[in-house]
Amino acid sequence: MQSNSAKIQFLEYLEIEKGLSLKTVENYDRYLTRFFEFAKIKDVGGITEDKVREFRIYLNRQLGIKVKGQSQANLKKNTQNYHLIALRTFLKYMLKRGVKTLTPDKIELAKISQRSLDLITENELARLLNAPEGDSPSALRDKAILELFFSTGLRVSELASLNKDLDLSKDEFSIRGKGEKVRVVFLSPTAKEAIKKYLKERKDFDEAMFVQMSKNKEDKKGGRLTTRSIERLVKKYAIKAGISKKVTPHVIRHSFATDLLQNGADIRSVQMMLGHANIATTQIYTHVTDSKLKEIHQKFHSKKKK
| 253 carries an active-site annotation | yes
* Distance linking the first and last C-alpha atoms of the chain: 73
Number of residues that make up the chain: 306
Shared-domain flag, residues 72 and 202:
no
- Clarify whether 58 is annotated catalytic: no
Amino acid sitting at position 79: T
Q: Are residues 11 and 45 in the same domain?
A: yes
Give the whole-angstrom CA distance, residue 83 versus residue 80.
Answer: 5
Q: Which entry of 88, 141, 155, 254 is annotated as an active-site residue?
A: 155
Q: What is the pLDDT of residue 302?
A: 56
Strand 182-186 to 63-67 pairing: unpaired
Q: 115 in a domain, yes or no? A: no
- Note the pLDDT tens digit of each residue in 214-238: 665 544 567 899 999 999 999 999 9
Specify which residues 211 forms β-bridges with. 224
pLDDT under 50 in the chain at which residues? 65-72, 218-219, 306
pLDDT at 276: 86
Q: Are residues 132 and 70 in the same domain?
A: no
User: Strands (DSSP E) along the chain, which ranges?
Assistant: 63-67, 71-74, 172-176, 182-186
Final residue belonging to a domain, choices 72, 106, 140: 106
Predicted pLDDT at 296:
60
Q: Give the separation between CA 60 and CA 267, rounded to whole angstroms.
A: 34
Q: Which residue in the list 83, 141, 192, 276 is annotated as catalytic? A: 276
Q: Give yes or no: 301 in active site.
A: no
Can you give the pTM of this predicted structure?
0.65
Task: Tell me the CATH number at 83.
Answer: 1.10.150.130
Q: Please indicate, yes or no, whether residues 189 and 93 belong to a single structural domain of this protein.
A: no
Catalytic one of 178, 183, 224, 240: 178
Question: What's the pLDDT score for residue 10?
Answer: 93
SS3 162: coil
- Any domain includes 81: yes
Considering the domain architecture, whether residues 223 and 282 belong to the same structural domain is answered as yes
Q: Are strands 172-176 and 182-186 parallel, antiparallel or unpaired?
A: antiparallel
Q: For residue 240, give the CATH number of its domain.
A: 1.10.443.10
Q: Which of 31, 82, 93, 285 is catalytic?
A: 285
CB 101 within 8 A of CB 47: yes
- Report the domain count for the chain: 2
Based on the domain organization, do 153 and 95 belong to the same domain?
no
pLDDT computed for residue 210 by the predictor: 95
The identity of residue 143, as a single letter, is K
Q: Which domain holds residue 176?
A: 122-297
285 has catalytic annotation: yes
